[in-house]
Chains A and B, each alone.
Chain A
């Protein structure tokens, strides 16, 4: 019995050399934290757990920009602040009047008792009313501001150049739109007001207390240094402890994430016992860090309570002695006012500390949002660019060079020149990493070549607005992305005003119709985010149908058929041929029959165009294409 009783005190204190963490665990922890961040968001984040503090880099600048958003509601904001002043004053007046009542009215005497109570009622009503008004108004201001910021940020995402997304992790951008915006939202909702009213209440309380009895005020404030010292002692320990706990939790969650996603491998390799063992190790680590973090941070409210009680006792005891000795102005009423104030005194202090952190992280969050808003947009160089009404489809690359970034040694593409006549089929061929996809990205102007020009119908693409350029192209990209929505909506994405009949016609051409009608719900089957619920091959078929519907002059297929099996591919070949008719098509293809059909094959190797021409011609050259074509066949 005694042994179990003292168990809680025997947890080993965790080693806190956080810096030298195991690299694997760090990585897992990091990922898990990022995921956790993504998952949360929304309301009801955990309370009382200090998150990692993120500080803003440019305080005044960020605050100034927040103010720009808020200043639209300047008048209402002024009204809110007025209400805060009123409500803080009235909140102080209440206890003061109760004290007066005890001293002057309770035992008879005084002026009109009924009138006094009516006054008190008015004070209470006013206090509630002003609090209510300030909250209601502030919520509207806050939500409208957040709404605008969110809209602007989202619209900005669609204006940013694609390289922006290459540089940043999706989770990071996601977190700006969700977590950071939520931080801003909750701060504007309540923290801003609370900080203001806490300061006012503190000052007001102090003023009234000093007015009533400087001596008792001093006594009340005796606990403040104690509180500060206690908080220091606690936070000095909880900071590292929470970091350690967060790290352990991250490592554990990362492990769970990984092993459950890879459950198929664990089962097939019978590794259940092994992962259980590794899991237990991580679980144990968190037991010790979690225990100490929770225990010590659990001291905080107890410390507050304890100090409250202490000042309560001192005010009551010493106040009484002063009152008996007839010391100055101390009366029963004064003691009551003090007791009530002292009880409330630590609350605004506590609020202030909490809200301050929220405010800081909200400013940091807002700064991260503004960072995205400040990024240069894709269309920023398009002042002079024109719209294209129609495109014949003559495409020419001349002297194109390109590399993804400064840190890349050498160019990803070097000196690429070739031309495609309208309606031609161009096959891009070469080993992985040869630059085929990069070439396509340049054509669609996701990236800009560092040298050389690309022309369409003889016009430099840099003089064409990107949107206009792209609207004459259709893409079936490597990752055939589907949106959450019905099959029909997903195909219609190719042309928003297409009729149902046109959608089905496109699906038939792509040979997707037969599998769609077999789906439960047919064209109205709702696909999950990322197109779950249908196979990868079927996703590609839908992507092809979408491109058919778009009816472009230039068609780009980026390994569009790679994950479609041969049998299915046979089924779509016909449709693809029909699709390519009369359009300039660029195909990154591995399949020989597509390549053979091409009017021109562009052979890329390590970023250089080494051979070009039709199939037979290239074969007869007996060069790289020849060896590629015969590949494994020639080995034996």
Chain B
């Protein structure tokens, strides 16, 4: 819980105030049985109405005081919990954004999302609860025991002996129940996983007629879940009746000894009633204990997950300034272009002896890759799945760092170029299309903040999407995603290409981003791109897109096995020839490809 305390510091005044209010409430509650005892012994038994008025008034007044304290504590506790939640989210998100891509990928995105959403909410609720209820329970138990002892030492002793035993029993039960519920949770997760899987693969299950098989699998998991749920619930439901019985037996003991004491003159009726009252309060508090312990263990798991992120060391952290007031990009650049203020990048790229393997894995993804691209040239990268094409181009915007060798842009080692600066010169279109919620315009403008309509339209035109957009009723203001239109795969690809083009990049990276386009559109797009003065790295499967490239790189198992122009490769590489033939057939039809030039 160390991280939490660090964050709580800022709110210590409010936290202490909340606890102070809590103590007021507690004091009022603890004093009640004592006052009742006074009313019984000094009032009713002495026949003194004034005493009854007095203590009744004090009781009413204190009830009001406790109420006010409670209302106040709500403000303070909410302030602390919401404040800490805000700070935590802010710090955590900033930390995540500061991660280099490599470190980011050490965590699964989904797990980071849970930490930022669910886990923080759990912690927030826990803080709120601690400041209002959780601290109350142990204090109430302790206070009741102490008060009972003060009222009547001998009778109070009964409570003093019983409470630790019951406490031990409850804690033991909680531990057992927690383990059981963990199993139940696992079973639930497994079952839900199966449902999810079945829903996703529904068509496949139907066409392979595997319904019976799947239902059988589900039945097994469902049965396991039922059996474990019954076991777990049975245990927790046994705890309370047992606890109550033991506590009630204690009350019988208090009555028994109380009568003996009263007869020997060692106690008054009021005192016995007070001790019984304190015992009853203790029962109430103990029964809340299991819930509180549960919340605490959940919160501590959440805290651990959050701490893991916050304490992750990232030597390559990418946000220059990690402070409350980050320097925004616009402050650094003028609005009229992404490259203003940065060294202009011409787009010469040189790989020399580059090897790479993903962190934490042994197999090399790239081995000793070397090539040079001149500014404005187009490089096509081909190869089988898993041959290292995507990995190779990821190294250019420094999403990952090569394990060996150097990459130079305009002759400068990219490790010496500021990441932000480098990336501002690059337009990157990833293999899997990722668009954001918002309008088409907003999505294109992602590439260049503050892009005007002209720039956006130009980019869209070049990406061959402008016409399609203007056909939409809302044009560029059309919303994407959940409530907006659903674009086809090819349209999404073109949109993400437009997003890259609007940057007017010096280096354009297309990672198999034209796969869903038909040949015609693809050709038109590549034609547009070739008029731009940018170096293009193009991962593709299609010979049609490759043939006009200035350089073709053929990768196989991470090694560069052939490079050169189309004609050269047709001569020199058997593999390239086979790829070519598979798409264009042999002899005769070569003619069509030649037409391309």
Q: Is the CB of B423 within 8 A of A493?
A: no
The verdict on A36 contacting B117 (CB below 8 Å), with A26-B483, A332-B44 known, is yes
Check B56 against A1 for contact (C-beta < 8 Å).
Answer: no
Q: Which of B479-520 contact A (CB under 8 A)?
A: 479, 481-484, 488, 490, 499, 503, 515-516, 518-520
A274 to B57, CA, bound (A): 61
State A22–B414 Cα separation when bound (angstroms): 42
Q: Contact check, B78 vs A139: say whether CB atoms are below 8 A apart.
A: no
B315-332 contacts to A (CB < 8 Å): 318-319, 326-329
Beta-carbon contact of A324 and B48 below 8 Å: yes
CB pair A287 B207 closer than 8 Å: no
Identify the closest chain A residue to B200 (Cβ): A481
- Bound-state Cα–Cα, A98 to B259, Å: 12
A289 to B420, CA, bound (A): 36
Look across to chain B and name the residue whose beta carbon is closest to the beta carbon of A189. Answer: B233
B82 contacts A by Cβ under 8 Å: yes
Contact string against B for A residues 260-273, beta-carbon threshold 8 Å, 1 for contact and 0 otherwise: 11111111111111
A351 on interface, CB distance cutoff 8 Å:
no
Residues of B within 8 A of A339 (CB): 36, 277
Q: Which residues of A contact B225 (CB under 8 A)?
A: 147
- B207 x A280 contact (CB < 8 A): no
Closest chain A residue, CB of each to CB of B258: A106
Complex-state Cα separation, A151 to B215, whole angstroms: 8
Contact digits for B87-126, partner A, Cβ 8 Å, 1 yes 0 no: 0011001101110010010000100111011100100110
Given A299-B71, A317-B52, A324-B49, verify A107-B262 contact (CB < 8 Å): yes
Q: Mark A309-329, 1 if CB is under 8 A from B, else 0.
A: 110111011101101110000
Given contacts A162-B203, A165-B202, A317-B57, contact A4 B483 (CB under 8 A): no
Q: Is the CB of B44 within 8 A of A323?
A: yes
B437 touches A24 (CB 8 A): yes
Q: A279-B93, A538-B385 are in contact. Are A132 and B237 (CB under 8 A)?
A: yes
- Render B129-170 as a binary contact track against A, CB cut-off 8 A, 1 for contact: 000110000000000000000000000000000000000000
A101 part of interface (Cβ distance < 8 Å): yes
Q: Is the CB of B70 within 8 A of A302?
A: yes
Stretch at the interface among A54-62, A393-401, A467-475: A467-475
Closest to B362 in A: A520
A271 touches B446 (CB 8 A): yes
A78 at the interface (CB under 8 A from B): no
Q: Does A127 contact B (CB under 8 A)?
A: yes
Are A470 and B575 CB-contacts (below 8 A) given A26-B483, A537-B385, A566-B583?
Answer: no
Residues 57-85 of chain B, each 1 if its beta carbon lies under 8 Å from chain A, else 0: 10110111011001101111111011101
Contact (Cβ within 8 A) A8 B78? yes
What residues on B are CB-neighbors of A563 within 8 Å?
515
Q: Is A631 an interface residue (CB 8 A)?
A: yes
Given known A264-B101, A294-B82, A298-B78, contact A305–B66 (CB-CB < 8 A):
yes
A620 within 8 A of partner (CB): no
Task: Report B24 CB to chain A, min CB distance, Å.
Answer: 12
Query: Is the CB–CB distance between B233 and A174 below 8 Å?
Result: no
CA A609 to CA B215, docked complex, whole Å: 40
B204-240 residues with Cβ-Cβ distance < 8 A to A are 204-211, 213-215, 218-219, 222-223, 225-226, 229-230, 233-234, 237-238, 240
Stretch among B185-193, B350-358, B372-380, B404-412 lining the A interface: B185-193
B530 interface contact, C-beta 8 A: no
Is B537 located at the chain interface by the 8 A CB criterion? no
* A343 surroundings in chain B (CB, below 8 A): 280
A191 vs B63: C-alpha distance when bound (angstroms): 31
B-facing mask of A267-302, CB < 8 A → 1, else 0? 111111111110110011011001110111011011
B359 on the A face (CB < 8 A): no
Q: Report yes or no: A494 in contact with B519, Cβ–Cβ below 8 A.
A: no
Whether the Cβ atoms of A5 and B207 lie closer than 8 Å is no
- Output the least CB separation between B275 and chain A (Å): 12
**A354 CB–B CB distance under 8 Å:** no
**B369 on the A face (CB < 8 A):** no
Is there a chain A Cβ closer than 8 Å to B458's Cβ?
no
The answer to whether the Cβ of B249 comes within 8 Å of any Cβ in the partner chain is yes
A269 CB contact (under 8 Å) in B32, B298, B447: B447
- In the complex, whether B337 has a CB less than 8 A from a CB of chain A is no
Asked whether A324 lies within 8 Å of B44 as measured between CB atoms, the reply is: yes
Which of A38-46, A67-75, A414-422, A455-463 lies at the binding interface?
A38-46
Take A189-B233, A431-B518, A484-B197 as given contacts and tell me if A131 and B74 are in contact as well, using a CB distance cutoff of 8 Å: no
Taking A309-B28, A565-B541 as contacts, is the C-beta distance between A636 and B596 under 8 angstroms? yes
Whole-angstrom CA separation of A173 from B251 in the bound complex = 52
Q: How far is the CB of B208 from chain A (nearest CB, A)?
A: 6
A95 to chain B, nearest CB (A): 9
User: Is there contact, CB below 8 Å, between B44 and A4?
Assistant: no
Between A265, A276, A303, A494, the greatest number of chain B beta carbons within 10 A of the residue's beta carbon is seen for: A265
Chain A stretch 219-234: residues in CB contact (< 8 A) with chain B: none
Cross-chain contact B523 with A11 (CB below 8 angstroms): no
On whether A566 and B541 interact (CB within 8 A), knowing A132-B241, A299-B74, the answer reads: yes
Which one of B203, B226, B240 lies within 8 Å of A146 (CB-CB)?
Answer: B226
**Inter-chain contacts of A136 with B (CB < 8 A):** 234, 237-238
Please determine whether A324 and B575 come into contact, CB atoms closer than 8 angstroms.
no
Q: Do B207 and A143 have beta carbons less than 8 Å apart?
A: no
- Interface on chain A toward B: helix, strand, loop, or mixed SS? helix
> A408 interface residue, CB < 8 Å from B?
no
Most buried by A among B63, B125, B269, B592: B63
A536 at the interface (CB under 8 A from B): yes
Residues of B within 8 A of A316 (CB): 35-36, 39, 55-56, 59
- The residue on A at minimum CB distance from B431 is A536
Interface size class of A (residues with CB under 8 A): 35 or more
> In this assembly, does A154 line the interface, its C-beta being within 8 Å of a C-beta of chain B?
yes
A610 to B223 CA separation, bound complex (whole angstroms): 54
Q: Are A630 and B62 in contact (CB under 8 A)?
A: no
With beta carbons under 8 angstroms apart, the residue of A127, A155, A302, A550 that contacts B71 is A302
A596 within 8 A of B: yes
* B154 → A minimal CB distance (Å): 15
The reply on B2 being an interface residue by CB < 8 A is: no
- Are A258's CB and B436's CB within 8 A? yes
**Segment touching B, from A118-126, A200-208, A361-369:** A118-126
With contacts A8-B79, A633-B595 taken as known, whether A283 is within 8 angstroms of B90 at the C-beta atoms is: yes
Q: Is B8 an interface residue (CB 8 A)?
A: no
Interface centre among B83, B255, B484 (most CB of A within 10 A): B255
A568 contacts across to B, CB distance below 8 A:
384-385
Cβ–Cβ contact A635 & B524, under 8 A: yes
Asked whether any CB of chain A lies closer than 8 Å to the CB of B311, the reply is no
| Interface status of B13 (Cβ within 8 A of chain A) | yes
Q: Which of A249-257, A577-585, A599-607 contacts the other chain?
A: A249-257
Do A263 and B101 have beta carbons less than 8 Å apart?
A: yes
User: A444 interface residue, CB < 8 Å from B?
Assistant: yes
Check if A632 is an interface residue, CB within 8 A of chain B. yes
Interface presence of A570 (CB below 8 A):
yes
Q: Contact between A471 and B269 (Cβ–Cβ < 8 Å)? A: no
Task: Given the known inter-chain contacts A4-B13, A270-B329, A477-B204, please indicate yes or no for A253 contacting B245, CB distance below 8 A.
Answer: no
Do the beta carbons of B202 and A162 come within 8 Å of each other?
yes
Closest partner residue, chain A, to B270 (CB atom):
A332
State whether B32 touches A312 (Cβ < 8 A). yes
Contact B200 A170, beta carbon cutoff 8 Å: yes
Q: Which residues of A contact B285 (CB under 8 A)?
A: none
Do B82 and A566 touch (CB < 8 A)? no
Q: Which residues of B contact A303 (CB under 8 A)?
A: 67, 70
Cross-chain pairs A/B with CB under 8 angstroms, 17 sampled:
A30-B482, A106-B258, A107-B262, A117-B255, A128-B241, A132-B241, A162-B206, A264-B434, A269-B447, A269-B503, A310-B64, A314-B56, A317-B60, A477-B207, A566-B583, A567-B385, A632-B544
- 4 tightest CB-CB pairs across the interface, nearest first? A317-B56, A302-B70, A306-B67, A313-B59
Further contacts, 13 of them, CB under 8 A, given A102-B273, A316-B36 = A7-B13, A117-B252, A132-B238, A165-B199, A276-B97, A302-B74, A316-B55, A332-B269, A335-B44, A431-B518, A470-B208, A536-B385, A635-B524
